[in-house]
Structure 1
Amino acid sequence: MALFYVVIYLPTRYLIEADFDSFESLAVEWRVGLSFVACITLALLFTVLPNRLHKVGVPYVVERLNYHHGNLPVWNAVVQFFSAAIGLAGGLSIGKEGPAVHLGATLGGYLAEKAKLPQYGVETLLACGVAGAISAIFQTPLAGVLFAFEVIFLEYRQRYVLPVLLSSVIATLVSHFFIGPLDIFSVESISSVLLSIDLFFACSVLVIFIVLLSALFLHTQKKLWRLSGLSVWWRFLLVAVATSLVAIYIPEALGSGYLSLSRLLSGDLILYSLFVLILVKTLLTAFTIGLGIPGGMIGPTFIIGGLAGAQVALVFDSSIVNVALFALLGMAAMMAACFQAPLTALVAIIEMTHSPATIVPALFVIVFACLLVRVFFHQESVFVERLSFMGMSSTISPFQRYLRQHTVKPVAENVLILPMYVPIEQVKDLASSMVDYAVFKVGDEHRLVRRSAVLEALGMLDQGPQLWLVAEESRMKMDLSLALESSLVPVIDEPASLEAILGWFQKHGLPEVLVAVSASSLSLVSRHRLDQFLLKSDQ
């Protein structure tokens, strides 16, 4: 994330020679030129790259988690890194938080794959990567943890909490060390909030405004998703034209928009029409993301909500409504409504602004914004809606979740590994063993026998010499391939979860399989034992 910051902000600092987000300080020709160069570069990049590398962002992370066991290709993350940096440096109305989530999730999944962790370990490290990315970008460790659960997993998972918290805290410390403290908004800590009827009336107006904005934001994207069949050149050219028009007339809407809100809160920025800026920022961000520009929308929604809160505050008497307070409430409500992440939104504004006094009014606007968006517009999280449009589910069934949380150990049986020619003394020792099965190799094939069957074959010596007796190095040995019938059983690497082994049985239709737990250890997994375990767990 520190490297991501450097790649994004060093070029803009060099060009603008001021705050990294103040594109309005550039000449009109520069603003228009940057947007066109960014869009043309991205179109060229996506034309050259194969289609499989075009998928990036938070919806892609959820897709890979649910449908591909959290396996995130590294090259997609590389594309996300540079494409987001190009878009942000060009002043496009996108955020860095969505790309950061993709990068963090990929890192977690890559480490889990290299460590050959089971499925719950993969999901744990993926959650650690997501939480760490959000924490590093915002320097909000607790909000990072809640984001991973509310937005990516869509549920709270207690067994993941400790490692995810640790990852989030360390990411914040590393971010502080490399980047320094991020004072994103120059808002003085709000020590107290006077709760009154007038305040909650103003909050109700804010809720209605936020709900309408979030509905506009999502439904604009839904309309544009239908254009995904168009050439990337046409789509990105439309973004370039729209961004250029905004760059000419309302340059404050360019980029992520943090600087515009920060200046408004500090009283330095006087806008001719704050409402127009809010509307343009909402539509431009939805237009940019909806047409496929690989950027995030978390930061822009924060800014849209903050500007909306300031607009509502300016309508009311300053003795009743504090502009800074309502900017914070708008930020929380907009994030909660768009991503259906109420606790993440609440904790994020508290951690960024160190203002716990906002909790009561913040909860009021967050809860009602989420409820009204669901009831009147039937709107889920924008990421869930995107996956639904693509014909995918954002969640997995409880049965799949249960399978993913367990390894094959509960249904695996130990087996004895024997040579094909076993000394008679070793066969006799099998009588004291508690293991029911033994495996020996004939060429490259693994053969499975019951321990009791081996002992029964040994008992045939009482009736006289047997054909399976072999004299080797002055020792009598049993040729297991001749002594008894055996079954051919395939050997596979240890699956990551019960879901993987169940899928293997369904694909191959075999009753048993040997699992290579290590280089010298095998375990037997049978479909019958797996079914018994699942039925017992269901009861």
Structure 2
Amino acid sequence: MNVKTKWSENAKSYNELLLLAVLGIFCGLFSGLLMAFFYAVVYVPMRYFMGTDFDAFESLAVEWRVFFSIFACLLLAVVFTLLPPRLHKVGVPFVVERLNYHDGNLPIWNGVVQFFTAAIGLMGGLSIGKEGPAVHMGATLGSYLATKAKLPQYGVETLLACGIAGAISAVFQTPLAGVLFVFEVIFLEYRQRYVLPVLLSSVTATLVSHYLIGPIDIFNVGAMVLAPLSLDLFLACSVLVVFVLGLSVLFFQIQKQLWRFSALSVWWRFSVVAMVSSTAAVYLPEALGSGFLPLNHLLSGDLIVYSLLLLILVKTVLTALTIGLGIPGGMIGPTFIIGGLAGVQIAFTFGEGVSDAALFSLLGMAAMMAACFQAPLTALVAIIEMTHSFTAIVPALFVIVLSCLLIRVIFHQESIFVERLNFIGMSSSISPFQRFLRHHTIKPVAEPILALSSHASLEQIKDLASSVVDYVAYEKDNEWYLVKRLAVLETLQLLNEGPQPWLTVFHDKISMDIFSALDSTNIKLIQEPNSLEAMLVWFQRTGLNEVLVPLSDTSYRLVSRHRLDQFLLKSD
């Protein structure tokens, strides 16, 4: 019997994994379709205006560049003025907040707002990326599918991870980096339990994106050659790390100072963004948008007629100001560009030539992402998948590790998303105890019971003798009551002494009126919580020690605080 029970439990856990894997595939499919649609909404109209690359804002006339920047900011101000405040929350910090404080339940309308506001900002040439909106939309999709499938809490978190990984993979066509992004940036830990469904979602989304959009050649490194692993190379890498650290600290500190003005009207905040963006549109249009075109031009050997260092600083300040003042957009794309340009600047400074500029641009991208988001493996894998080259692994690991280490040890700076949540008084992660509770349903602490009618036939009462359950539950006047099985059987024995007052005829059968025959305990009936954490919160809030939970129309379970405490102590 023990072997059979264990086999059934194992089979059930494998069936749950299969269900999550199938849902992960669907999540990846829908994430890929959603990102392809987002891509079309943003870039098809811009291709019409530009006629070339969809991020080539410098190819537009000055008046058009200024018009797009100002119009986008004003339109966003109108949208956020008309929307209720609860719909203003979008982006990665909102996703983490809903994950940690609201069981991963993301409202659909916030996702819709994220879709259209991000599209407006990107079409206006504002210095934002599409990755933050992709994370929000993918997470919303995963949350919706989990709600429809009525999954427990760990299932909700799994599909949330599937949606995020699928969205990131569809945007960059980097399936493994999308998976690592979920664990390093969103969950801040690696969770083996989620890996298989998330991988399936990520691969599916990449295939959908590749089929609908075509291959996304973000970065051309055809001319890159690896310099010998010499002291000069690592000296240049060390200088690059120092440069990137300065840029990341500047990027963070500008945003941190601007967060203080989040209570101001969107008209004031977005007007400042419009003014600064339109100025950049006139004098330095390469700083607009989220594309890699300026970087690709540099690597192609095109000459620049302005200071590269000036472009790096303007891009850093413009992106930090745009995001910091509340424009709904992502930061990953712009930080990649800033890091890549910083790498080219270092390559030119050391006089290594254009061939090494490609290598250092990769290193700068990896270092900047690692420093800003504390995601070392994501940064490494992202540049490998985007460039289809393994040439830069050793120096990339050097700059990534050094950047992550120094930014935390010297500047005490966490991920920009973690810092944002800390600023508004929220935690970016949950305790190990909460995580343990969320990863378990009530089944380990649920005790089976028998549900009877309040007027049970004598045949049903006699059948209790062959049962092994401890309790019997019944409903009377929309209230549920609990009695011990042995107490019911002992009361039945009183028939040996003669007719009893609790005998009644119900549906033409001689029955026992259990309510009249025994002293019953009134017990609450609640819907099945999605995790042990929700069950513990219910016990703490109500002060009750027992509750009845229906698992189906005819199956009920008794959950007690005592059994929950025993389970926690046993699990240590």
Give the TM-score of the pair, scaled to structure 2: 0.93
Can you list the C-alpha shifts for 1:366-411, whole angstroms capped at 9, x where unaligned? 0000111111111000000000000000000110000000000000
Q: Which runs of 4+ in 1 moved over 4 A?
A: 189-193
Contact 1:38 1:90 in 2 (8 A): yes
Output the amino acid matched with 1:162: L
Output the amino acid matched with 1:252: E
Contact 2:224 2:355 in 1 (8 A): no
Aligned to 2:190: 156
Structure 1 position 72 matched with structure 2 position 70: no
Mapped partners of 2:276, 2:495: distance in 1: 90
Contact 1:190 1:358 in 2 (8 A): no
Structure 1 residue 421: Cα displacement: 1.2
Can you list the C-alpha shifts for 1:128-152, whole angstroms capped at 9, x where unaligned? 0010011000000000000000000
Aligned to 1:457: 491
Contact 1:193 1:358 in 2 (8 A): no
237, 242, 245: which one pairs with 2:271? 237
Output the amino acid matched with 1:377: F
109, 123, 133: which one pairs with 2:157? 123
Contact 1:416 1:438 in 2 (8 A): yes
Structure 1 position 368 matched with structure 2 position 435: no
Can you list the C-alpha shifts for 1:105-131, whole angstroms capped at 9, x where unaligned? 000011001111000000000000010
Mapped partners of 2:280, 2:83: distance in 1: 29
Contact 2:223 2:355 in 1 (8 A): no
Change (3 A) 1:417 1:270: same
Structure 1 position 113 matched with structure 2 position 140: no
Mapped partners of 2:502, 2:513: distance in 1: 5
* Structure 1 range deviating more: 277-286 or 24-33: 24-33
Mapped partners of 2:125, 2:351: distance in 1: 35
Mapped partners of 1:210, 1:331: distance in 2: 9
Contact 2:225 2:359 in 1 (8 A): no
Contact 1:187 1:266 in 2 (8 A): no
The two structures, once aligned, show a CA RMSD in angstroms of: 1.2
Change (3 A) 1:320 1:82: closer
Mapped partners of 1:474, 1:344: distance in 2: 71
Mapped partners of 1:182, 1:222: distance in 2: 33
Aligned to 1:357: 391
441, 444, 454: which one pairs with 1:410? 444
Aligned to 1:97: 131
Structure 1 position 11 matched with structure 2 position 59: no
Structure 2 matches for 1:37-52, cutoff 5 A?
A: 37-52=71-86
172, 175, 178: which one pairs with 1:141? 175
Contact 1:339 1:381 in 2 (8 A): yes
Output the amino acid matched with 2:432: P
Output the amino acid matched with 2:146: A
Mapped partners of 2:355, 2:296: distance in 1: 18
Aligned to 2:457: 423
Can you list the C-alpha shifts for 1:253-295, whole angstroms capped at 9, x where unaligned? 0001411111111123524210000000000000000000001
Structure 1 position 389 matched with structure 2 position 423: yes
Mapped partners of 2:153, 2:246: distance in 1: 40
Aligned to 2:515: 481
Output the amino acid matched with 1:454: V
Structure 1 residue 191: Cα displacement: 6.2
In structure 2, stretches of 5+ residues that fail to align are 1-34
Corresponding residue SS for 1:518: coil
Structure 1 residue 471: Cα displacement: 3.1
Can you list the C-alpha shifts for 1:48-99, whole angstroms capped at 9, x where unaligned? 0000000000010000000001000000000000000000000000000110
Output the amino acid matched with 2:159: L
508, 511, 533: which one pairs with 1:499? 533
Contact 1:128 1:167 in 2 (8 A): yes
Output the amino acid matched with 2:480: H
259, 262, 268: which one pairs with 1:228? 262
Structure 2 matches for 1:294-313, cutoff 5 A?
A: 294-313=328-347
Mapped partners of 2:494, 2:224: distance in 1: 89
Corresponding residue SS for 1:322: helix
Structure 1 residue 476: Cα displacement: 2.1
Change (3 A) 1:472 1:9: closer
Structure 2 matches for 1:158-307, cutoff 5 A?
A: 158-188=192-222, 190=224, 192-307=226-341
Mapped partners of 1:364, 1:178: distance in 2: 37
Structure 1 residue 521: Cα displacement: 1.7
Aligned to 2:371: 337
Contact 1:189 1:354 in 2 (8 A): no
Mapped partners of 1:198, 1:287: distance in 2: 36
Structure 1 position 515 matched with structure 2 position 549: yes
Output the amino acid matched with 1:425: E
Corresponding residue SS for 2:551: strand
Percent identity over the alignment?
A: 70
Output the amino acid matched with 1:358: A
Aligned to 2:26: none
Aligned to 1:85: 119
Contact 1:193 1:357 in 2 (8 A): no
Give the TM-score of the pair, scaled to structure 1: 0.98
Structure 1 residue 505: Cα displacement: 0.7
Aligned to 2:361: 327
